[in-house]
Amino acid sequence: MQFLNIAVVVGYLVLIVGVGTFFALKKKDAEGFMVAHQTMPGWAVGLSMFGSYISSISFLANPAQTFAGNWMFAAFTLVTPIGLWIGTSIFLKFYRRSHMVSAYSHLENRFGPWARTYAVFAYLILQMARTGTILFLLSQATVPLLGGQASDLGLARIIIVVVGVLITFYTLFGGIEAVVWTGVIQSIILVLGPVICLATILLKVPGGLGEIMSISVANDKFSMAPYTLDLAIPTFWLVVMGALLEHLRNWGIDQSYIQRYIAARSEKEAARGIWIAGLLYMPTAFVFWFIGTALFAYYKVLPSHLPAGTAPDGVFPHFIVFEVLPGLSGLVVAAIFAASMDSNLNSMATLTLMDGYKRYFRPHAGDRESLQVLWGSTLFWGAMSIGWGLFLTLKGATTTIQFSANIAGLLGGGVLGLFLLGLCSRRVTSWMAAVSVSVGVLLITWMTLSRIKVGTTAFWPQSWDGWKSPFHEMLAGPVGTVIIVLLGLVLALLFSRQRETDQQHESTLPSDEAPQLSAERSS
């Protein structure tokens, strides 16, 4: 049985490596590596971006969330259309018409080099953490498939390293074309996985769908509560706020999404790709949420089928291995691989070249030199992502979706606030933006680190409990973003009024004194 499952997974990996190898054989220049000379069809770009939405975080952590709790986090999916509309009507047009490969080059034009460098650094660290988290979740699902126990950290680490190396090398040789076309294949496979699992649950639960609904309703599993305004605990409204910011980040400041819709052959094709990605994501995401609830009902009816002490993140992998038919369970695990092998390394390498190497070291680097930097940075960020995945094997049984949300809020809130500040007012100068971002990032850091835990270990020293944030860490990103925008606008308002007052005062002075005062103020 294990041999059959492993054969299916290996067959899938061979297919993906084969696709990457095919594109590796095509001669590439730096532009081809980064944006495929803007020749990609919109439907392929859309399926690829859909694969980015359905990562192993969705595949494993979302069922874990609804198994352990309710549907509160499904509010993230409900606000998806707002993100799609903003993405196609504002961000897509802005980036494609600016003719910039980097999503952050315009920040230098608006606020100076510091803004561009800060945004790039935050993105690179965030994506490294995201890719490592995805690799970690994949290892949790595949350890039982290979005959190991959930606690077998050695085997989990081998899986993280092997899959991380595969992702790194197909991105390294195939460029953005390999990322998009492997994403198409991955999207098809990953849709089959949850369908197989849901059908298996419905067939195995005595009483089928009716029994699942009865147990779920009795245990209030479909609720999205709490709806209170208590800011110290996770609530529906905190999830909605965080979801709106996450969708804005995806379409507005996430280089991996932006680079793909820049690679589309036209603006119309790019918009089509965004809507394909979002409209496929919504029903698929709700299937994942429902799987967690259905698993709760399944193990409520058959509690002996689940080992005592199984962590929420481990319930779905356990079901896949021990309850789904051999061969089909291999296909489900292949779907988890598909959700895990979407690569952001191409976008990370692009930013390293455009916003690092060319910006500060070799502005006029030739095509061959640029390709070498792209290859080297792909290897570097692949290794860093693998390292983060290995670190997560030490974190214990924390629900991974919350841990990932904490990291995203910590690293992404300041960049989104900076971007929105630039859109809101032309009066905001570089130093005003720098002050606003500094305050916002400090606030986000304090609200996150004083509350976040890795496993059972708190970051915040116990002796500092008097300075601990009273708010839930989920609020950090939204609050930090709003503070950055509001503080920047207030500074712009105050100092623009001061300039107007100075100008009015200058106009009342005798003509021989006004030029001297103007010169002194400039000095």
- So what's the pLDDT on residue 277? 92
Delineate the domains of the chain, giving CATH numbers in brackets: 2-393 (1.20.1730.10), 395-503 (no CATH)
Extract the tokens encoding 124: 């690179």
Q: For residues 112-133, give the mean pLDDT.
A: 88
Q: Give yes or no for residue 37 having a pLDDT over 70.
A: yes
Q: Residue 499 has what pLDDT?
A: 61
Q: Determine the Cα–Cα distance for residues 191 and 353; give it in Å rounded to an integer.
A: 34
Model-level pTM greater than 0.85? no
Q: State residue 520's pLDDT score.
A: 47
Q: How crowded is residue 382: how many other Cβ atoms within 10 Å of its Cβ?
A: 24
Residues 307-333, mean pLDDT to the nearest whole number? 83
Q: Which residues contact 398 (CB under 8 A, 6 or more apart)?
A: 453, 454, 455
Q: Which residue has the tokens 């034009």?
A: 109
List 457's β-bridge partners, or say none: 454
- Nearest Cα neighbor of 193 from 59, 10, 321 is 59
The Cα–Cα gap between 197 and 323 comes to 9
Q: Which of 6-20, 71-85, 232-246 has the lowest mean pLDDT?
A: 6-20
Place of tokens 């960049």: 415
- What's the full length of the chain, in residues? 523
Least confident of 11-20, 45-54, 157-166, 385-394: 11-20
| Mean predicted lDDT score pLDDT of the chain | 83
pLDDT tens for each residue of 394-412: 765 444 555 666 666 666 6
